[in-house]
């Protein structure tokens, strides 16, 4: 099983600032990595797939990078609607998720 | 618009069985693989099981030790999860999601999940 580790567990950011979230895989997953956003009471939302491709309708302030074992999700200028929990998921083998990063208002 | 609606969640005693359903609409159901992902209250996401477009190929998380079975009925646009020998630690919201294939190794393919349902709550308690 590929273990995904996200850091930090919680990120405190002021609106308008940049947020950088990390995801590490226990072995290489190439670029077979996706990012999701979860907000209370809402359906999970796909943000990024292929490590860096934005899903349909996702604003350009969200960007993904990395390959192999190290990945980053960057939110360039946090909007109020971006405060949420973010998960990474690898699909290089049977899927597994990271533990999540909660982005909260500073 | 893609819609996935789960049902069948309940409160059960340990050792019980339950079948969850996921009704799909807004897309050609038999063109896509489907998956179940669960989330214990206040915890993170855990992949449970996946099935390919025609139901021939399935996969389950090793941690389930064969207690869960995924299936589908393309004529009814429905996905199912049969859960047996339920344990307290199976308590979670169970979400169904549509799979977009992204990577294949031989005959086995995996992907990411582009549409999700709201989930149905399964509570296992003595």
pLDDT of B103 higher than 90: no
Q: Of the candidates A78, A68, A59, which has an alpha carbon nearest to the alpha carbon of residue A21?
A: A78
Q: Which residue of B has its CA nearest to A88?
A: B45
pLDDT of B104 higher than 90: no
Q: Which residues of B fall within a CB distance of 8 Å from A1?
A: 62
Q: Work out the minimum CA distance from B60 to partner chain A, whole angstroms.
A: 8
pLDDT tens-place string over residues B4-26: 999 999 999 999 999 999 999 99
pLDDT tens-place string over residues A16-46: 999 999 999 999 999 999 999 999 989 999 9
Per-chain mean pLDDT for chain A: 97
Which of A21, A53, A95 should we substitute to test contact with B (largest number of B Cβ atoms within 10 Å)? A95
Q: Work out the minimum CA distance from B99 to partner chain A, whole angstroms.
A: 11
Average pLDDT over residues A78-90: 96
Query: Which residues, other chains included, contact B54 with Cβ-Cβ below 8 Å and sequence gap of 6+?
Result: B30, B74
């Amino acid at each position: 099983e590929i273990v995904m580790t996200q850091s930090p567990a919680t990120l405190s950011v002021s609106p308008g600032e940049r947020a950088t979230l990390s995801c590490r895989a226990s072995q290489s997953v190439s670029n077979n990595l996706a990012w999701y956003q979860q907000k209370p009471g809402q359906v999970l939302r796909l943000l990024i797939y292929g490590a860096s491709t934005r899903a349909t309708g996702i604003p350009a302030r969200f960007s993904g990078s990395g390959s192999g074992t190290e990945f980053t999700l960057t939110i360039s200028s946090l909007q109020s609607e971006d405060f949420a929990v973010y998960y990474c998921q690898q699909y290089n083998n049977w899927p597994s998720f990271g533990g999540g990063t909660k982005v909260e208002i500073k | 618009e893609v819609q996935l609606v789960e049902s069948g969640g309940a409160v059960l005693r340990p050792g019980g069985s339950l079948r969850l359903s996921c009704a799909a609409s807004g897309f050609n159901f038999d063109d896509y693989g489907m998956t179940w992902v669960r989330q214990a209250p206040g915890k993170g996401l855990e992949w449970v099981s996946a099935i390919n477009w025609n139901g021939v190929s399935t996969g389950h998380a090793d941690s389930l030790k064969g207690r869960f079975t995924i299936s589908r009925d393309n004529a009814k646009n429905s996905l199912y999860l049969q859960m047996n020998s339920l344990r307290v630690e199976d308590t979670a919201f169970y979400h169904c999601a549509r799979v977009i294939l992204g990577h294949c190794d031989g005959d086995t393919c995996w992907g990411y999940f582009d549409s999700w349902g709201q989930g149905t709550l399964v509570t296992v308690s003595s």
